[in-house]
Structure 1
Amino acid sequence: MRQATQLDLEGKYTEARQLIQKEIDNAPNPRAKANAQRTMAMSYAFESDCQKTGDYEQLVIAYWATREAEEPANAFYQQGEMANEAARVCIEAGVLDAAERWYKLGTQLGLKEPGISADRKALWEYRLAHAQARLAARRGNRKVADGYVEKAKEALERMTTLRAAQQAFLPYLTGYVALYSGDAAKAVEDFQKSNLNDPFIQCLLAQAYEKLGEKEKALECYRKAYATTAHNPPAAYAKPLARKKLNL
C-alpha cells in the first residue's frame, strides 16, 4: 500500500490501482478490504474522478453499516466521514450537485449515531453549513453563501470541547467564499488565518495570489503544496494541481 500511495503521488495512477486492487482481492478480513477500498477511492480522487471516488467510498460505507451493532458510535461517524470525503472530491472536481448529495448524506449518516452528543451534533451541522456555503459560492450566489457562513458560525459557537479544533476551518470557509466571489485580497487575508500546513489551503492561497498578480508568492505556495506526501482529499487536490502549475 505504501508503494501504491507513492505511485499516486507520482501521478502513476494505473500502476497504483493495480497494486491496490491486489490488496482488495487478498484482504484477510472485511476491515482490511474496506481500508483498501478507501485507498482506491483516494487514488481516483487524484484524478478528480467524482464518480469512481464515490463508488469506492460507498463500498466503505457499506462495510461500516455492518458494524452498527458492534460499534454504533464509530460506525455511523465513519459512514458520515466517508460520504464527506466523496463530497470533497466532487466539489473540487466541479461536480457540484453530486457534492451536495454526498454532503447531505454524510450529515444524515453522522446524525444517526445513537445518543449523539450535543457537540457531535453541532459538528455535523457545522460541516453541512460549511459545505453549503462553499457550494453557493461556486454557483455564484454570494448572498446565499454568506447566509450559510452565518449558520456555520452559529453551529461552531454551540460546540464546547470540539470548538478549538474546528475554529481553523472558519477562515478557510470565509476565504473560500471570498475567492469564488471575486475578492482575492479578502481570500488571502482569511487563508493566512487558517491551517497553512494544509496543502489544500496552500493551493487555494496560491490561486488567490494568482488573481492578485503575485506570481512568485503563488509559486511558493504551490511548491509547499507539492511537497505533501499525504494520500487524502487535500493531497489529491493539491498534488496534481501543483505539479501542473510548476510544470513538473
Structure 2
Amino acid sequence: MDNAIVATHPHTHETAIAAEHEHIVLPQHRHHFETQEQQREAATFGMWLFLLTEIMFFGGLFFAYLLYRNWYHDAFVVSSNQLSIPLGAANTAILISSGFFMALGVWAAEVKKQGLLVLFLVLTTVFGVAFLGIKAVEYHEKWEKHHIPGASFDVSQFTNPQAYGLHEKPLSPDMAQKTQIFFFLYFAMTGMHAFHMVLGIGLLFWLTWRARRGEFSAGYVAPIENFGLYWHFVDIVWIFLFPLLYLINRHPGV
C-alpha cells in the first residue's frame, strides 16, 4: 500500500504507538476511509442519525400516550394506579447503574484497560438482565389480573373497585373499557423499550467476546463508544417512561 506498513501484531501496545507515528494500517481500518479518525467520525455520525430515528419513533408513542391520557383521564389514572412503584423504581435504579458501568466501560476502552473493560461490560449485562427479569414479573402480574388488552380483559376492578379492597372512584362501564387503551400503550412502550434492551444485551455479549480477545486494547474503541450512546439512549427513554406511566396522579382526589 502507498507508504503504509501492515501491522503484524495489531493488538499490541507497541503497534498502537507505531500507528500514531508511522501511519500503520490496522485491520479495523476500512479501505474507503482515508484515516481511522475519519472512519471513527463517520461511525459516530451514523449512530447519532440512528438515534434520531429512534427518538422520532418513541416520540410518536409518547405523543399518543399524552393525547389519549387527556381524552380519557379518569381511565388512565386508575390504570396507572395498577402499576407497582417499587418495581418501577427498582428498575430505574438498576438501569441507571447499568448506564454508569457502561460509561466506565467506555473509559476503560479509551485508556486501554482490557480487564476493566471486560468487567464493566459484564456488569452492564448483568444489570440489563436484572431489568428484564423485573419487567417479566410485572408482565406476569398483568396476566394474572387479566389486564392484557383483548377478549379476556377484565374491567371489574375498575367498575367495582371496593370489591377488590380499593378506594378509588368507580368508572362507568364505557370509561372502564378505555383502560384497555392505557394498557395497550403500556405494553407497546415498555415492550419496545424491553426489545431494545434485549438487542443491547445481545450486542453486549458480542462486544465482551471481542474485548476478551483484545480487539479494543490498541486504540480502536469506536464500537464501544457508539454502543455506549445506544445504551444511554435506552436509559433516557426509561427515565421518561417511569414518571409518565407510574407516578402521575397516583393519588387522585388528594
TM-score between the two structures when normalised by the length of structure 2: 0.27
Q: Which has the higher helix share?
A: 1
Greater relative contact order: 1 or 2 (C-alpha under 8 angstroms, separation 6 or more)? 2
Which protein shows a greater Rg? 2
TM-score between the two structures when normalised by the length of structure 1: 0.27
